[in-house]
Amino acid sequence: MAPLVNNARWKDVTRNLAERDATFVAMWGERNDEGGNVNLAVRHKGERSIEIVSHSAPDSHYPSVGRHHPSAILMERAIQDVYGLVADGLPDTRPWLDHGFWPHSRARTSYNFKPALGPGVHQIPVGPVHAGTIEPGHFRFSVNGEIIVRLEARLGYVHRDVLGLMRGGAIDDAAALVGRISGDSTVAYAFAFARAVEQALGLTVPPRASTLRGIMAELERLANHLGDFGAICNDSGFSLLNTHAAVLRERVLRLAALVFGHRLMMDCIVPGGVLRDLNEEGATALKSGLPSVLVTFERLVDLYEKTASLQDRVVGTGRLDPALASLLGCGGYVGRAAGQDFDARRDMPYAPYDGIDVRVPVLSSADVDARVRVRIAEIQESVRILLCLLDMMPKSSIHAALPNDLTVRSGAALVEGFRGDIFAFVRVCDGRISDVFVRDPSWFLWPALEAAIEGNIVADFPLCNKSFNAAYAGCDL
Amino acid sequence: MGLSLPLGLQFLQMFLVLAAAPLLTGFVRLAKARLQRRAGPPLLQVYRDLAKLIAKDAVVATEASWLFRVAPYLIFAVTWIAASLVPTFETGLLFSRSGDLIVIAALLGSARFFQMLAALDVGTPFGGLGASREAMFASLAEPAMLMIVFAVALVAGSSQLTVISTFMHSGSTGLRLSMGLALVALVMVAIVETGRLPVDNPATHLELTMVHEAMVLEYSARHLALIDLAHALKLLLYVSLIACIFVPLGIASSGDRPGPLLFGVAAYFGKLALAAVLLAIFETTIAKMRVFRVPNFVGAALMLGLLGTLLLFLSATL
């Protein structure tokens, strides 16, 4: 399934996107002697696979997708910065990741934030350095008193050219790098990348390895959702729940360290399988530890629901229009809190989820409270899936050797991380990476956050931002 | 000879509040941490922080005017004077004749005024954000405070804290509805004025949600130490104020001998500890409210104060 350059098919796919018959998944570029190619990945309505189509970019120009479909705009701006390929007709041609400090920078002029005019409207610049220890990002608020008229996020402060480091390298080295793109999703990234490589090489992973991958992915989701639950409460000034949720998150992380030898389970998933097996002792620890985490968590949920002052902060705050969530292709808790019924584990099933009934919580109120409640439901569901997987535990090897293939082959995969679906594409040749792209769900969360915050008060931004919890580094490749 | 003892006691009280203020702030922090099952900072951490800040070199924004540098000293001095006018362990304080409750409210208002000017002076967006929120809160908190003063003064027959405290201590007031309303209103005003939850979160790192912290973001070193100390003094002042008006239990009167005086000091520290624990419990069980809800909260305090005063006009026994 190597993406073929097919300009006519690209046109069709772009039309499908514009007519909302397909969901935008990712866009990335590649340079070659004639200028370059641009690749577009979409998911057609009702289909369980992803189509990748390429467009040639002679003289470094190609027709813009973002002109027809807004969720492509940020990626086309990034393609322009990183690959130098220009989208003709792109509505927003400002640089995105490029701050003018790279050797090949094109962004030499100052960045123009979108204007917001009117009597009393003024700007508040925040970041990229914040008062707390968080990732760097700049936020430009146009406010009227306390009311936010417009928010614009500006990222690109953690650019490491990870994809550039991966290209040309051995598959194993690339697998280690991909797990470091966004540390809180290291399992999901490694999972997506490994599946893409395996699809390219036509390799089937031993069943035990798949099950172990599922266990790691759910543990990661559990730990992150627990952390988010507490952090959202903390940002509304209710730190009691934060400390208790932090204790639960710590218990999950320690279980992961005990069972897989690393708290975040970094480098455990590799193309071909996994590197850490689960022994009898570990399985027992998980089987007894996880339900007890859930029991304590239920009490925290009870407190969350019964604290009136906390409910007053979260209900109705930062509402995201479900139509916009659909248009932008928001996945994960943000999309599911806004009526988007999609979960890659259920709708594009992959091992080990193909043998499990995954229940997906979907809400429609789309506020901070809905995003918390989706997380709560997913925590409960994750524990159920984990216990299911632990009961399955087929007996087999945990790693299959990668076949050495001299032909150029490519593969793609979609994996449900805790934030949403992570897409990975890889082209391999002779055990080396010739092209790679991974797309974080945050690409679609940032524009959604900008839209959701409109009309809210400035003091509620941290709370909304935390409920989205979009990654900064994840979309800075 | 006639003057030296009261003067000595007044100075003792001045330095007592200065020394005890960081302890109270530290104790609230520790109690909050314990309620959240955290180990928390050591009790003396606030003193260490102040010592660290004083030893550092101050960084002042290039755009800052003289006002920015002078404001911390003014704020500190004014708050300290206000704090030493409130009877803590003994009622007959020498200075309290020179200033009543209205003077205390005015001194705190001046401190706030300078704080807001300094926040606006450097021209950072957070300074403006914090100052505008502070002004919004203060526009209701200050009238509420005056209403409470009137209610209490109508009952005690004076706005002098020494007189009020002695009168309340005598027990001749009994249970009065107006005083109950005034107590609730004063607690609410104190929460707003000292920047505690649910109005402002003293522990937050989210610059967009800050009120007091946003105003002092640009301060460093000795300037910040003075402002922090003034803030701690303000918390102590409000606790002392509530204690001396509504819980004057154990407070010594002027001319008492060492025994009652010592008992007064012990009772005072007991009240501080109790207030700190109550504050910590309250802050642990409540989330911060939306900025726009705060005027409703302070407005309720204002109405309670007003109601307390009006009741006294209806009947002097209410």
CB contact at 8 A, A169 and A429? no
Q: Could you list the residue range(s) of the whole structural domain that residue B222 is in?
A: 4-317
Whether the CA torsion A116, A119, A124, A125 is positive or negative: it is positive
Q: What tokens were used for A32?
A: 């070659």
Question: What percentage of chain A has pLDDT greater than the value 90?
Answer: 79
Residue of B nearest to A245 (CA): B36
CA–CA distance, A370 with A468 (Å, rounded to integer): 11
Q: What tokens were used for A384?
A: 């159920």
> Which domains does chain A carry?
7-88 (3.30.460.80), 121-154 (no CATH), 162-476 (1.10.645.10)
Please give the distance of CA B297 from its chain centroid, rounded to a whole number: 18
Q: What tokens were used for B218?
A: 């640009």
Please give the distance of CA A18 from its chain centroid, rounded to a whole number: 23
SS3 B94: coil
**pLDDT(B36) > 50:** yes
Q: Is A387 exposed, middle or buried (0-12, 13-18, 19+ CB in 10 A)?
A: middle
Strands (E) located in A45-136: 50-56, 61-63, 86-88, 121-126
**pLDDT(B43) > 50:** yes
End-to-end CA distance of chain B: 44
Please give the distance of CA B185 from its chain centroid, rounded to a whole number: 14
Q: Please give the DSSP secondary-structure letter assigned to residue A203.
A: P
- pLDDT, tens digit (0-9, with 9 covering 90-100), for A308-344: 999 999 999 999 999 999 999 899 999 999 999 999 9
Phi-psi region of A367 (alpha: psi -120 to 50; beta: other; left: phi over 0): beta
Contact B286/A at CB under 8 A: yes
Where does the pLDDT of residue A63 fall: very low under 50, low under 70, confident under 90, or very high at 90 and above? Answer: very high
Whether a cis peptide bond, with omega within 30° of 0, leads into B202 is: no
Measured CA to CA in angstroms, residue B306 lies from A254, B143, B241, B292 at distances of: 57, 9, 19, 22
Query: Which of A133, A145, A236 is nearest residue B288 as measured by Cβ atoms?
Result: A236
Residue B1, pLDDT score:
46
CA–CA distance, A256 with A241 (Å, rounded to integer): 23
Whether the CA torsion B196, B201, B202, B208 is positive or negative: it is negative
Where does the pLDDT of residue A1 fall: very low under 50, low under 70, confident under 90, or very high at 90 and above? Answer: very low
Among A171-175, A351-355, B8-12, the range with the most confident prediction by mean pLDDT is A171-175
Given an 8 Å threshold on Cβ–Cβ distance, is B287 in contact with A307? yes
Given an 8 Å threshold on Cβ–Cβ distance, is B203 in contact with A239? yes
Residue A100, pLDDT score:
87
Question: What percentage of chain B has pLDDT greater than the value 90?
Answer: 60
Where does the pLDDT of residue B207 fall: very low under 50, low under 70, confident under 90, or very high at 90 and above? Answer: confident
Residue B21, pLDDT score:
95
Smallest CA–CA separation between A251 and chain B, in Å? Answer: 15
- pLDDT, tens digit (0-9, with 9 covering 90-100), for A147-172: 999 999 999 999 999 999 999 999 99
How many CB atoms sit inside 10 A of residue A246's CB? 19
Residue of A nearest to B128 (CA): A124
Which chain A residues touch B281 with a CB distance below 8 Å? none
- In chain B, the number of structural domains is 1
- pLDDT, tens digit (0-9, with 9 covering 90-100), for A30-59: 888 888 899 999 999 888 889 999 999 888
Given an 8 Å threshold on Cβ–Cβ distance, is B204 in contact with A460? no
CB contact at 8 A, B49 and B227? no
Bridge-based pairing state of the strands A138-144 and A147-154: antiparallel
Question: Which of B209, B218, B291 is the mutation pick for testing A, counting most A CBs within 10 A?
Answer: B209
Cα radius of gyration (chain B): 19
Name every residue whose Cβ is closer than 8 Å to that of residue B11 and which is 6 or more positions away in sequence. none
Where does the pLDDT of residue B254 fall: very low under 50, low under 70, confident under 90, or very high at 90 and above? Answer: low
Contact B285/A at CB under 8 A: yes
Name every residue whose Cβ is closer than 8 Å to that of residue A176 and which is 6 or more positions away in sequence. A267
Smallest CA–CA separation between B171 and chain A, in Å? Answer: 38
User: What's the whole-number average pLDDT of chain A?
Assistant: 92
Given an 8 Å threshold on Cβ–Cβ distance, is A131 in contact with B129? no
Phi-psi region of A266 (alpha: psi -120 to 50; beta: other; left: phi over 0): beta
